[in-house]
Structure 1
Amino acid sequence: MLQRLLKEPFRQTPLPFRRQPTILSALPQNSLNQQSFELNYRIICNHLVDFTREKNLLKGQSFHAHVVKSGMQIVPLICHHLMNFYAKLELPYCSEQIFHESQFISSTTWSSIVSSFVQNELPLRGLEYFKLLLRNDGMFPDDYIFPCATKACAMINDYCFGQSVHCLAVKIGFEVNVFVGSSVVDMYAKCGNLLDARKVFDEMPEKNVVTWSGMIYGYAQMGEDEEALKLFKNALWEGLEVNDFTFSSVIRVCGYSTLFELGKQMHGLCLKLSYDETSFVGSALISMYSKSGMIEGAYRVFNEVSDKNLGMWNAMLIACAQHADTKSVFELFKKMENTGMKPNFITFLCILYACSHAGLVKEGKHYFGTMKEYGIEPGSQHYASMVDLLGRAGKLQEAMKLIEEMPMQPTESVWGALLTGCRIHGNTELASSVADRVFELGPVSPGLHVLLSNAYAAAGRYQEAAKARKMLRDSGQKKETGLSWVEEGNRIHTFAAEDRTHEFSEEIYRKLDELGEDMERDGYVADTTCVLKEVGAEEKSQTIKYHSERLAIAFALITFPPERPIRVMKNLRVCGDCHVAIKFMSKCTGRIIIVRDNNRFHRFEKGKCSCGDYW
């Protein structure tokens, strides 16, 4: 595997390296006595550390000039501090210049250059220097360089390269090092190989908070929520002093699993341990409150954290977008710019998402067009958001033109966005044409099959819809079952359409029947066009009446106290009739009902929905 690390040529060959003699012997004769040298050395290092902490570029550059004039740039540790300074100020190529000008290259200098590129999101460049290090006789990676290399592998999701780095670490005896082992666990977890990550984790003779956090994060990232929570519990039992990264991973699990009560307990624990104002925890808490339907909690966390990183701004942007607070999205973006925070590709995804779900075509085009001004090239996800925006607004031909002009191959997300627009506006001809092009590409996800089937069924073309469903069955795939769930106490209650397996089924159906009578008196009429099956009108009416979200709401109505908002989570999009019905439910019961489907949040209150009936 070592040959694998060395096989690619380095794009720029640095100056020849020499083994490092003693520092004093390298100094010009009579230039400094040892005492004054050591004094200057300590002063320079302390100042560079201060400038790095302050991120003061002008002072740092001035001091860099002083270092060069005094001849102290020959000291490897001073070069390390200079490289670290420029790396922290997001100037990795300045670090690279210092590296090439260094006369004496130590392991610290090597770790600095690799780290400089990795922490500035240039992992491939960092790995090139790692490979160059391996080509130098007498120089080997150490417990500072290995973690940088494995982090770079995780960033590019290169499992094979990461495995090669791990193999090299084992060969030269670093597999038992807690720092190297932790970085390997984190790398395997982020590459999605939990088996290898857990194997390294279990075999480590010593574990630190990074080891535990990396493993917990891996389980959380792969949706293994129960395992992540078990591991966190084990860490606490062993007396581990968890850090902000550990808490952020666990809180994200609570958000993904909509374990709101547990998430609040984690928030309380963060408050006790003073981790509540860190950016990692702040971002996770914003996401958790938002995903649980409590946007007020997300706002509160955001406002309480004084030092916000880009992750926090993005988390708050997407929270506002999902909760239909589009005005706040634009306001936050302006505030973010005013603070000097530079947006990234995720920031623009949040803004385009907000525009798409509010029907703001003009604004969406504006922000899509200004991405390049920030040095961001639109990716396939940005194009998918624009197609979704145009499709929902009925501009299907314009969306198709945008797809044809994409500089990359359209992804399933892009085609899915267009098919969604076709279904909403009943354009089955375009949907059929799109389907032909998609199926030519080979196997596709069940979601695209379902979108096509629904588009045909919505137009009453049931034979074509049945054909699309048959293609799904023939491919050996299954349509995702529609589920809705609510959290009550320490239990999650899950429902499917027409489900009668719940212990309170009798009371739930009785409540729905009673509520249905009240709704009809208030003017509710079932919209059976949402039933995409060729069945009779009466059967359609019965099918709609007992959709999963209605069962979940009825359960909450008979079990939750009157003052408590009802939060229902769904894995699929809420249908049009259920959306109307829940508005009537909120009006008849006087309850706040929050529904999260796979697109956004709907807050129903006094017969109205926060989405403005555009979703």
Structure 2
Amino acid sequence: MLHQLPREPLQEPTQFSLFTNPPSLPFPKTPQNPVNQFSFEQNYRNICNHLVSLTHSRSLFKGQTLHAHIIKSGIQIIPLISHHLINFYSKSQRPLDSRQIFDEAPVKSSTTWSSIISSFAQNELPLLALDSFRRMLDNGVQPDDHIFPSATKACAILSKNNVGQSIHCLAMKSGYDSDVFVGSSIVDMYAKCGEIRDSRKMFDEMPDRNVVSWSGMIYGYAQMGEDEEALRLFKQALVQDLEVNDFTFSSVIRVCGNSTLLELGKQIHGLCLKMSYNSMSFVGSSLISLYSKCGVIEGAYLVFDEVPIRNLGMWNAMLIACAQHAHTSQVFDLFKQMERVGMEPNFITFLCMLYACSHAGLVKEGKYYFELMKEGGIEPGDQHYASMVDLLGRAGKLQEAVSVIQEMPMQPTESVWGALLTGCHIHKDTELAAYAADRVFELGAVSSGLHVLLSNAYAAAGRYEDAAKARKMLRDRGVKKETGLSWVEEGNKVHTFAAGDRCHSKSREIYKKLGELGEKMEQAGYIADTSFVFREVDGDEKNQAIRYHSERLAIAFALITIPPERPIRVMKNLRVCGDCHSAIKFMSKCSGRIIIVRDNNRFHRFENGNCSCGDYW
């Protein structure tokens, strides 16, 4: 039987080109067993049908038993038998076995080549798929409407736009570019490679479109952040009565989550229920992210509980949702559940665990999961080290955080230094912050957010010239500091505010509400902390600057428009400052409202003067 045969490790080539010769693969001699023509005619159709049935049921042991019978009968030399065996092992996620069947086939038809290329592409071995595609061309076999989609899928996995263009040209020369399946795969390939213009050009020129072409186009726009166009295409697809699939729904729901369009997301969730896509893992993970990002963690729990078969993506989505909403104990419980059901964690899983520990101040637990990851054979990446530095820095163990940076096997990235700067800022270690800022300058070009951290670190240390230098570098490079924005969804419309904003139609009512609320807050004991204004201005100007931050305007708007029985949900693109965090606690106490604020780090649920983060964020 196949599982008793010696195996070699399955490795991908380190590089691929359509124009270079690959290393030759072993081609065993064909067994010399005679084939009884009568037995062949009588049995081979039944065997093919049986293999197809076992492929659908994923019955590995029964399939291997049938494979042993095929070898004894000597009919494995029939191309159609080879095709079904390759497909069986491919669907069983055993591409090495598929390759062995392919290598032993004495006659390789177009169908045989199609099967092996598909096996590699479907099992995330894109280089081997493209390698087989090139060898097929060398053998004089022309690709067809089954082979082209597998080759373009491999290009999409690798984001190899240049190779994808070569395959597209070949499809055009052979006339297959007008085929709906080939054309759709090219649309999807360009979209996943980030070439949205090429994808749209192909999409617009297609005489016929199917769900793959529509889904690929929607995914491409969603990936590029062009959310409005992604939603417009989805609406157009529905108008044309296209039978969308789980991938389409997953892409559109992610758009709603990224844009925090809760009401629209709920409508699409309802459509998923109506079309029975709500139990699909990919849709489930998108719905979990949607409800989590919109501040409705209860909805995320319901989706997770209702999906019968969960893939790793769903587990990771639920882990990060719980971590961001400060449901730390639930994070640990979910990890234990994963172990019980035999779900292997990956590097994203451990990032979720480290994030949860970092934002709860659980240093011991964070170290445990960091070591557990290495014991499981997962090498920590720069993101894991950044999480460890963040964990130690927030907990005040700044020197230990520096030691982690010094012991990293790779060069520290800006996210690592940014984590250390955040810890220094929290614990007011201006000397170490200045040291970290100096190291960041050595990196060269960094993000605008890190430049702001640098400027603030230097300003806090009294190094105003260096702070000005950091801001000047930002201007000289033509990079603008990201404007702090907060937004609220109300009445199927998103209302956005910037600090000191007076452009809204209800500005007069908003500022009046802030004034009334401010008096109650001061009576309750609120005192503005102007240390969060890093400008050399007098006290009154600092007080005015901090009073009208974007999240406060958004909350005031919500107080006058959203019914008292509904929680107020405010989204923010930057980290909430310490004074606003304190002010919103007083706002919740004085107004008697539940206020949920999402910044770029986590969720804060303010209720009766308290925050779910425990003032640790």
TM-score, normalised to structure 2, is: 0.93
Cα deviation code 1:76-126 (max 9, x no counterpart): 232233223322333221222222122221222222222222222222222
Alignment gaps of 5+ in structure 2: 1-15
CA contact (8 A) 1:83 1:116 kept: yes
> 2:154 aligned with 1:149, yes or no?
no
Q: Which position in structure 2 is the counterpart of 1:10?
A: 22
Query: What is the distance in 2 between the residues matched to 1:604 and 1:438?
Result: 35
1:446-494 per-position Cα deviation (integer Å, ceiling 9, x unaligned): 1221111122233444333222111211222110000000011121111
Is 454-463 or 146-155 further displaced after alignment? 454-463
Letter in 2 for 1:229: L
C-alpha spacing 1:192/1:478, structure 2 compared with 1 (3 Å)? same
Letter in 1 for 2:73: S
Q: Secondary structure at the match of 1:486?
A: strand
Structure 1 393/51 Cα, relative in aligned 2: closer, same or farther at 3 Å? farther
Which residue is 2:221 aligned to? 219
Separation in structure 1 between the aligned mates of residue 35 and residue 304 of structure 2, nearest angstrom: 58
Cα distance, 1:270 vs structure 2: 1.1
Paired letter, 1:530 = F
**Matches of 2:578 and 2:276, distance apart in 1:** 45
Distance (whole Å) between structure 1 residues aligned to residue 20 and residue 405 of structure 2 = 36
**Structure 1 contact 426–455 (Cα < 8 Å) conserved:** no
Given that 1:185 and 1:214 are in contact with CA atoms closer than 8 Å, whether structure 2 keeps it comes out as yes
Aligned to 1:97: 100
- After superposition, give the CA deviation of every residue in 1:481-535 in whole Å (9 maximum; x if it has no partner): 0000001112111101111111111111111111111112222121111111121
Given the alignment of the two structures, is residue 37 of structure 1 paired with residue 40 of structure 2, yes or no? yes
Give the Å deviation of 1:247. Answer: 1.2
* Paired residues for 1:168-317 under 5 Å: 168-317=170-319
- Aligned to 1:6, the other structure's residue is in SS state coil
Would the alpha carbon gap of residues 465 and 57 (structure 1) be closer, same or farther in structure 2, given more than 3 Å must change? same
Q: Deviation string for 1:176-198 (max 9, x for gaps)?
A: 11111111111111111110000
2:336 corresponding residue in structure 1:
334
Partner SS for 2:495: strand
Q: Report if aligned partners of 1:219, 1:228 keep a CA contact under 8 Å in 2.
A: yes
User: Paired residue for 1:86, among 82, 86, 89?
Assistant: 89
List, as ranges, runs of 4+ consecutive aligned residues in structure 1 with deviation greater than 6 Å: none
**Does the 8 Å CA contact 2:28/2:104 hold for their aligned counterparts?**
no
The range that moved more, 175-184 or 457-466, is 457-466
Within-5 A mapping of 1:21-100: 31-33=36-38, 36-100=39-103
Match of 1:166 in 2: 168
2:178 is paired with a residue of what secondary structure? coil
User: What does residue range 437-516 of structure 1 map to in structure 2 within 5 Å?
Assistant: 437-516=439-518
Name the aligned partner's letter for residue 13 of structure 1: L
Mapped to 2, the partners of 1:435 and 1:231 lie a distance apart of 45
Letter in structure 2 aligned against 1:559: T
What is the root-mean-square deviation in Å for CA atoms of aligned residues?
2.0
CA contact (8 A) 1:364 1:389 kept: yes
Of 120, 123, 141, the residue aligned with 2:123 is 120
Rate the CA distance shift 1:558–1:192 in 2: closer, same or farther, 3 A: same
Contact 1:17–1:105 (8 Å) recurs in 2: no
3-state SS of 1:602 partner = strand
What SS does structure 2 have at the residue aligned with 1:594? strand
Q: Structure 1: state its 5+ residue gaps.
A: 19-25
The answer as to whether partners of 2:145 and 2:181 remain within 8 angstroms in 1 is yes
Distance of aligned partners of 1:168 and 1:317 in 2 relative to their CA distance in 1, 3 Å threshold: same
CA drift of 1:17 comes to 10
Cα offset for 1:240? 1.1
Instruction: Verify the 8 A CA contact 1:286 1:299 in the aligned structure 2.
Output: yes
Return closer, same or farther for 1:372/1:242 CA change in 2, 3 Å cut-off.
Answer: same
Other structure's SS at 1:175 match: helix
CA distance in 2 between partners of 1:459 and 1:377 (Å): 37
Corresponding position of 2:568: 566
Distance change (3 Å), C-alpha of 1:38 and 1:424: farther
- Report sequence identity in percent: 73
Q: Give secondary structure in 2 for the equivalent of 1:507.
A: helix
**In the alignment, what sits opposite 1:23?**
none
Read off the aligned partner of 2:22 and give its amino acid letter.
F
On the 8 A contact 2:18/2:163 being kept in 1, the answer is no
* Structure 1 pair 158–129 and aligned structure 2 pair: CA distance change class (3 A): same
Whether the 8 Å contact between 2:431 and 2:461 is mirrored in structure 1 is no
Letter in 1 for 2:411: Q
3-state SS, counterpart of residue 586 of structure 1: helix
The structural deviation recorded for 1:39 is: 4.6
Deviation for aligned residue 1:47: 3.1
1:587/1:17 CA distance change after superposition, 3 Å: farther
Q: Among residues 132, 135, 138, which one is paired with 2:135 in the alignment?
A: 132
Deviations 1:551-595 (A, max 9, x none): 000000000101011000000000011111111111111111111
Shift of 1:168: 1.8
> Which segment drifts farther, 454-463 or 60-69?
454-463
Instruction: Report Cα offsets for 1:582-615 as digits up to 9, x if no partner.
Output: 1111111111111111111111112111111111
Please say which of residues 318-327 and 90-99 is displaced more in the overlay.
90-99
Equivalent pair of 1:6/1:134 in contact (CA under 8 Å): no
Deviations 1:124-173 (CA, angstroms, capped at 9, x unpaired): 2222222222221x212222222122111111222212212212221222
| Within-5 A mapping of 1:395-414 | 395-414=397-416
Give the SS at the match of 2:235: helix
Residue 362 of structure 1 deviates from its aligned partner by 1.7
Distance 1:155 1:605 in 2: 45
SS in 1 for 2:176: coil
Q: Which one is further off, 250-259 or 527-536?
A: 527-536
AA aligned to 1:56 is S
Within 2, Cα distance between the matches of 1:381 and 1:490?
37
- For residues 309 and 96 of structure 2, what CA distance do their matches in structure 1 show? 27
Q: For the structure 1 residues 563 and 206, does the alpha-carbon distance in structure 2 shift closer, same or farther, using more than 3 Å as the test?
A: same
Check conservation: 1:17, 1:104, Cα contact below 8 A: no
Deviates more, 1:68-77 or 1:471-480: 68-77
Mapped pair 1:541 → 2:553: no
SS at match of 1:407: coil
Quote the offset at 1:29 in angstroms.
Answer: 5.3
**1:274, 1:237 → 2: CA distance?**
19
1:22 aligned partner: none
**1:276·1:282 contact (CA, 8 Å) conserved in 2?**
yes
Q: 461-470 or 558-567, which moves further after superposition?
A: 461-470
How many pairs does the alignment contain?
602
Contact in 1 for aligned 2:35/2:74 (Cα 8 Å): no
| Contact in 1 for aligned 2:29/2:104 (Cα 8 Å) | no
Where does residue 378 of structure 1 map in the other structure? 380
Quote the offset at 1:50 in angstroms.
3.5
Q: What is the distance in 2 between the residues matched to 1:555 and 1:310?
A: 40
- Verify the 8 A CA contact 1:458 1:530 in the aligned structure 2: no
Structure 1 letter corresponding to 2:560: I
2:389 is aligned with 1:387 = yes
